[in-house]
Amino acid sequence: MATRRIAPDVGETALHAHLASRGALERDDRGLALPWRFGPDVEGEYAALRDGAALVDLGFRTLVRVTGEDRAAFLQGMLTNDVAALAPGRGCPALLLTIQGRVTADLRVVALPDSLLLDVDVRAADGLLEALEKLLIADDVELARLPDVTLIGVEGPRAASLVPGSTHLASFAHLETSLGGGPVRVMRVSEVRGPGLVLHVPCARAARVWDHLVQAGATPCGMEALERRRIEVGVPRIGLDMDLATLALEVPVEDAISSTKGCYLGQEVIARGTARGHVNRRMVGVELAGEVPERGAGLTSDGKEVGRVTSVAGPLGARGPVALGLVRREHWAPGTELAAGALTRARIKDFPLS
């Protein structure tokens, strides 16, 4: 399968050249050249995600370091989860919302003895930093990107067996270990709600760590298989399924929102929506039959648009195409039949889709 032409101004990950030399076929993914697949056996990459150990270039994410005496107190008032409760070695998912409760960024918070790290999609990092810096007044807080560190994912039930020290890590816990000839930080977290790990690796050693894990038995996995599995299990992606037009309560991010902590940006909207018990639309899983629609295609009932497709994955082997969509409450019940264009049937289904 041919890849899309990569424009000269498209960004590259720290592993870009190394993976290209290893046969990675790339695509422009919203301004980043990312490995789409590593050869013809995409089903093998997908199988490694679910049943083995898949190696993923997470260079579409970046780290922001937060330092200063007020770092925890400041972020406690900004983010949706209980940052102040994190001891070193722990972490949590969180969101940064607008005052209207809409999603600026989703992130992972990593607590270290002298700082907090924010693991965020690189395409949302500018918005995150701009929003936080506007709210800094007299706080002893400094925000800085870590351009010399890249992220690598190891997904699947065999992932922990390949990374020393990770076997007994609790969810979102992390530690420093040695891999590929030097120290890396490993965190128990998954891009696809599975048994996964994220490694914080110095860019200078990223290729060595990648090759070490391949030699240990991990299967290189591109975005085609990763996105397929992400959609199947219902993980929303910033910039695709949620953005500044999306209320946090419209997407399945409950683990990123504390129901017990004090005030934070957008909390009043979250509290009102929670008390009311519903929102007017919600992200759902969709099984497709027929022509694969483009992202953004309308979902219709009796010719009336009742939602739209936010992410879509084409067929993979015997598995048909699937999608995520934002759909109005009258039409989001599992089993509801909709249309996505004249040639495509769309059926709402509970997660996982496969």
Cis peptide before 352 (omega within 30 of 0): yes
Residue whose tokens read 């919302």: 97
Closest CA to 71 of 48, 49, 88: 88
Can you give the pLDDT at residue 9?
Answer: 60
Q: Judge contact between 50 and 159, C-beta under 8 A.
A: no
C-alpha 46/C-alpha 156 separation (Å) is 10
pLDDT per residue as tens digits for the range 151-188: 999 999 999 999 999 999 999 999 999 999 999 999 99
pLDDT value of position 4:
38
- At position 92, the amino acid (one-letter code) is C
pLDDT of residue 2: 33
Classify 200 as helix, strand or coil. strand
Q: Which residues contact 175 (CB under 8 A, 6 or more apart)?
A: 89, 165, 166, 169, 185, 186
User: DSSP states of 140-191 as a string?
Assistant: --EEEE-TTEEEEEEESTTHHHHSTT-TTPPTT-EEEEEETTEEEEEEE--S
Tokens for 14, please give them.
């720290």
Query: Residue 278: its pLDDT value, please?
Result: 81
Question: What are the C-alpha distances in Å from 248 to residues 237, 242, 273, 274?
Answer: 12, 8, 10, 11
For the whole prediction, is pTM greater than 0.85? yes
| Helix segments in 251-331, DSSP class H | 267-276
How would you write the pLDDT of the chain (354 residues) with one tens digit per residue?
333 344 446 699 999 999 999 999 999 999 999 999 999 999 999 999 999 999 999 999 999 999 999 999 999 999 999 999 999 999 999 999 999 999 999 999 999 999 999 999 999 999 999 999 999 998 999 999 999 999 999 999 999 999 999 999 999 999 999 999 999 999 999 999 999 999 999 999 999 999 999 999 999 999 999 999 999 999 999 999 999 999 999 999 999 999 999 899 999 999 999 888 889 999 999 999 999 999 999 999 999 999 999 999 999 999 999 999 999 999 999 999 999 988 999 999 999 998
Pick the closest to residue 213 from 150, 152, 168 (CA basis): 152
3-state secondary structure of 43: helix
Q: Comparing C-alpha atoms, which of 101, 208, 103, 192 is closest to residue 153?
A: 192
pLDDT of residue 236: 98
